[in-house]
Structure 1
């Protein structure tokens, strides 16, 4: 009956992930699991996140121990129906070959770079068939914000996620830190990659950029998925924006990052440290100050795109975290004719906090 045994493995989030810590189990042996159930928390050097069950079944063994570090694809649990004996389950666990972390193995680079007219742009990509999907991150973010999404969507289409100018590994010295520059970066990358038309998935400021692409270049946009998007209303949390820009230490930055999540416990030490390293790079501080002044000044958004996006004719899905503390969830209904979904228990980073549902909605939009 070994063909009835279903393993629960440590997932791989992003090409650079080699191992993760099993932080906690949410279920115990004897639990009947349904696909999509939250079964455990896993922490990496990038972020902590909940793992959802890909398959359903009766959990017979919790093989992994909370607090332990495991390589990607390690056996953490076993599901099997009651008719499979305990001896068969034990034999399956004993025979499973745990993978090892190969420190020196040659890997596909997690990111690529290209020199465009606008400057150097970093991006990640996954191969696939069909019309490409381009993920566009928000203010102060980068392409790693999509670690829980790109692989899932790559099963249905080629995927790209870029670092906008001033962010991540892209050019930091920008003559005009504004919306037009962000749109130029997307169009120039599409030209370089010979992408005539793409589905755009934008988060926060990336939603504003995606919407502006649909307005200015509707012939190049197959669809829009806007996640907690800027540009759909007036209000924005000035305490978060101004605090993020001015923060110069862990003590100052961490409380501001808690605005991003419904579960503040997702703000890990490594997340804070990575953002501080980014903010200390040459040119970043001046860039963030100028960009925030242009787009989000004194708690008000400087650009409104809702009406023009509706008029563009581009099919649009709007996704919002019900507990978004950065941009009000009330903005979700601003685009006339758009499909709208509000996700309970998620905040501004909905694509991280409930990646499973967000990925389903993106696939539906494709």
Structure 2
């Protein structure tokens, strides 16, 4: 294949993604693309996301038809300069279709989680990328896990080493959260930096994870090169009210009927709550120790129906770049007023619903 001809392929969003399908193309053959242009909406078994162009170029062929299930790595479209003959482009398309028909695709090397021992607890994490320099560490929110970064970690790993971890009580990590305090959770992140040998890292935290990474920076400012906070807990005015009904309801939900309507509050578009997403969370909530862990963490998040965390106070003495990004349709934690916040079109789970906007703000992608 000519080096001038480039394939755009089905991305791998998350460890468990094996296939996806194009729902809608936003571009047409003959369009000139810039890096980062929206190409298509792609649906996985967990959630839909928007695929960006990984590079600039002339879109010569669209290969993937909407609605067709394709394996990770399948060719979706072909870019090539205008001077490249149609016959050369058609040969690449024919090769891609033959590769698909042969069943050659779908056997890519699986990325497996690793385990770190931190403060006597087993912490699960996954690493993508091997770029030199300071790594990026992604820290999820209350009831989330490392897989919530499925649309963020892989694109970031093209230019950075990126670690996503499960906090104690979450995902595949040990369910013991100790006293469940912010200090305990911050200690886990600091201990994790020790395990991976990172003197400093850029920390990205969502919701509870945002407060956790702020606490890390307050406790050990020399270990943090920058903070990106996504709808961080405790960032509103002191005593402001989160959706306490959601937090308590999520902690106590034990059935699909209870859980699904609550999850709809996390997104601007409730249709993004797929059956698989509900099933995965129910499976997690039924694990031994999860209920106790979530109840302990509720005491860290809530003072009655008010926020118990004061994240601005944690940041008061922190002298590193801090970016705060919020979904404009967030129903769990309202967008604070009078502070410097970047808004994106999303609900509380902005890193899943508006990942491309988050990436653009994070590193100017």
TM-score, with structure 1 as normaliser:
0.88
- 1:80-229 to structure 2, matched below 5 A, reads 80=80, 86-96=86-96, 98=99, 100-102=104-106, 107=109, 109-126=111-128, 127-229=130-232
Instruction: State the secondary structure of the residue aligned to 1:329.
Output: coil
What is the CA-CA distance between 1:108 and the residue it aligns to?
5.2
Q: Is the 1:118–1:184 contact (alpha carbons within 8 Å) kept by the matching residues of 2?
A: no
Paired with 2:24 and 2:10, the residues of 1 have a C-alpha distance of: 13
The residue aligned with 1:65 is 65
What is the CA-CA distance between 1:278 and the residue it aligns to?
0.4
Deviates more, 1:127-136 or 1:110-119: 110-119
In structure 2, do the counterparts of structure 1 residues 184 and 260 end up closer, same or farther at CA, with 3 Å as the change threshold?
Answer: same
Q: Report whether the alignment pairs 1:281 with 2:283.
A: no
In structure 2, do the counterparts of structure 1 residues 83 and 117 end up closer, same or farther at CA, with 3 Å as the change threshold?
Answer: closer
Question: 5+ residue gaps in structure 2?
Answer: none
Q: Is the 2:125–2:163 contact (alpha carbons within 8 Å) kept by the matching residues of 1?
A: yes
Paired with 1:108 and 1:89, the residues of 2 have a C-alpha distance of: 30
Paired with 1:305 and 1:173, the residues of 2 have a C-alpha distance of: 24
What is the CA-CA distance between 1:203 and the residue it aligns to?
0.6
Paired with 1:150 and 1:303, the residues of 2 have a C-alpha distance of: 27
Q: Is the 2:138–2:164 contact (alpha carbons within 8 Å) kept by the matching residues of 1?
A: yes
In structure 2, do the counterparts of structure 1 residues 264 and 59 end up closer, same or farther at CA, with 3 Å as the change threshold?
Answer: farther
Instruction: State the secondary structure of the residue aligned to 2:17.
Output: coil
Question: 5+ residue gaps in structure 1?
Answer: none
Instruction: State the secondary structure of the residue aligned to 1:362.
Output: helix
What RMSD in Å do the two structures reach over aligned CA positions? 2.6
Deviates more, 1:26-35 or 1:152-161: 26-35
What is the CA-CA distance between 1:92 and the residue it aligns to?
2.8
Spell out, residue by residue over 1:200-223, the C-alpha distance to the aligned partner (whole angstroms, 9 max, x if none).
Answer: 111111000011111111121111
TM-score, with structure 2 as normaliser:
0.88
Q: Is the 1:63–1:78 contact (alpha carbons within 8 Å) kept by the matching residues of 2?
A: yes
Q: Is the 1:149–1:355 contact (alpha carbons within 8 Å) kept by the matching residues of 2?
A: yes
Q: Is the 2:235–2:336 contact (alpha carbons within 8 Å) kept by the matching residues of 1?
A: no
Q: Report whether the alignment pairs 1:357 with 2:357.
A: yes
Paired with 1:108 and 1:82, the residues of 2 have a C-alpha distance of: 37
Instruction: State the secondary structure of the residue aligned to 1:98.
Output: helix
Spell out, residue by residue over 1:88-140, the C-alpha distance to the aligned partner (whole angstroms, 9 max, x if none).
Answer: 5433311335353455x7x4542111233241110111322111221111010
Q: Is the 2:5–2:79 contact (alpha carbons within 8 Å) kept by the matching residues of 1?
A: yes
What is the CA-CA distance between 1:86 and the residue it aligns to?
4.9
The residue aligned with 2:50 is 50
Spell out, residue by residue over 1:147-201, the C-alpha distance to the aligned partner (whole angstroms, 9 max, x if none).
Answer: 2222332333322111000000001133312212211211221222222222111
What is the CA-CA distance between 1:80 and the residue it aligns to?
4.6
Q: Is the 1:204–1:228 contact (alpha carbons within 8 Å) kept by the matching residues of 2?
A: yes
